[in-house]
Amino acid sequence: MKKLAVVAFGGNALLRAKQKGTIDEQESNVYETCENLLPLIKNGYDLVIGHGNGPQVGNILLSNAAGAKVYGLPEMPLDVCGAYSQGFIGYIIEQQLRNVLEKNNMERDILTLVTEVLVDKNDPAFTNPTKPIGPYYTDEEVEVLKKNTTDTFAKDPKGNGWRKVVASPKPIKIGNQKSIEKLARDGNIVVTVGGGGIPVFYVEPNKLQGIDAVIDKDLASSLLASQIHADEFYILTDVPNVCLNFNTPNEVRLETITVAEAKNYLQDKQFTEGSMAPKVRAAVAFVENGGKECIITEAKQLSNPKAGTRIIK
């Protein structure tokens, strides 16, 4: 049986620092990232691709707010905005990956699935929302919003104003996982669990409903990789290796580490929250749940079989 790999695209796969986020920029970035997948494809891997959606869903929320303010349009909730972003980002990835394949005289069907992810409505994260989303608000604007909504807001530490904050619960189950695995093992490349998936919960038995939350994309991709029995899990980021003492004169690049070592480094706070720490946790979760290894690296390193930081049992 061919190897099955889940590849989680990092944020710079779509949008990079100092870019505005035009469609031309995003298509160019995605094309370059997809070119780097060629070594896996040429080696016969079955592939599933996950991706982030932070800037994109933020822009959708801004459009929402502007449409409501100027034209009186009804604002869509966060789960629906997440679905919007899954569709258009999946379209970009499908198109640019197909361009890469055709240039290299290769043919694979590429499918995008809008993906729900089950969360627990009693997850402690819902009592402590911390994930900032959407536009910035002034002191005056946020006072009005607090009176007219049940949303929670937090002040930006960089002094840019206030932002809505939502929970980031743990994913429990990826929707359509059996179909995702079958499609991938049949040779199709599947784009799924975009932005960590659309968080849903059981509002009552046998009735799912969306909820205002953001699931960590790497953790969701890790769970998907485990649930579809992937052999390998790749987390693509903007550095070639996970490092100790990152960005200091004592920086040490990690090559192969065990789950136990990774946990010790996490406990010692070697990795930054909101950056490398969640990626390492996602890698640990995959290996602990039966995966062979997780590789954290930048996309252009995929042609090197010894590249990146490998987390093994």
Domains of the chain: 4-128+167-307 (3.40.1160.10)
10, 11, 82, 291: which one is catalytic?
11
User: What does the pLDDT read at residue 123?
Assistant: 97
Specify whether the CB–CB gap between 249 and 310 falls below 8 A: no
Q: Would you give per-residue pLDDT tens digits along the chain (313 residues)?
A: 799 999 999 888 998 888 888 999 999 999 999 999 999 999 999 999 999 998 899 889 889 989 998 999 999 999 999 999 999 999 999 999 999 999 999 999 999 999 999 999 999 999 999 888 877 889 999 999 999 888 899 998 778 899 888 999 999 999 999 999 999 999 999 999 999 999 999 999 999 999 999 999 999 999 999 999 999 999 999 999 999 999 999 999 999 999 999 999 999 999 998 889 999 999 999 999 999 999 999 999 999 988 899 999 9
The model carries a pTM of: 0.93
Is residue 279 flagged as an active site residue? yes
12, 53, 64, 241: which one is catalytic?
12
29, 64, 131, 241: which one is catalytic?
131
Element (H, E) at 116: strand 116-118
Longest CA–CA separation in the chain, Å: 60
DSSP string, 210-243: E-SB---HHHHHHHHHHHTT-SEEEEEESSSS-E
Is residue 20 flagged as an active site residue? no
Please name the residue that has the structure tokens 């070639």. Answer: 240
Query: Can you tell me the distance from the alpha carbon of 302 to that of 236, in angstroms, rounded to the nearest whole number?
Result: 9
Is residue 69 flagged as an active site residue? no
Query: Can you tell me the distance from the alpha carbon of 198 to that of 193, in angstroms, rounded to the nearest whole number?
Result: 8
52, 279, 291, 308: which one is catalytic?
279
29, 64, 196, 217: which one is catalytic?
217
User: What does the pLDDT read at residue 175?
Assistant: 97
Query: Can you tell me the distance from the alpha carbon of 110 to that of 48, in angstroms, rounded to the nearest whole number?
Result: 10
Q: Count of CB atoms within 10 A of residue 129's CB?
A: 21
Report which DSSP code applies to 117.
E
Q: Count of CB atoms within 10 A of residue 69's CB?
A: 10
Query: Can you tell me the distance from the alpha carbon of 53 to that of 15, in angstroms, rounded to the nearest whole number?
Result: 10
Query: Can you tell me the distance from the alpha carbon of 153 to that of 166, in angstroms, rounded to the nearest whole number?
Result: 9
Q: How far is residue 74 from each of residues 64, 132, 199, measured CA to CA in Å?
A: 8, 22, 21
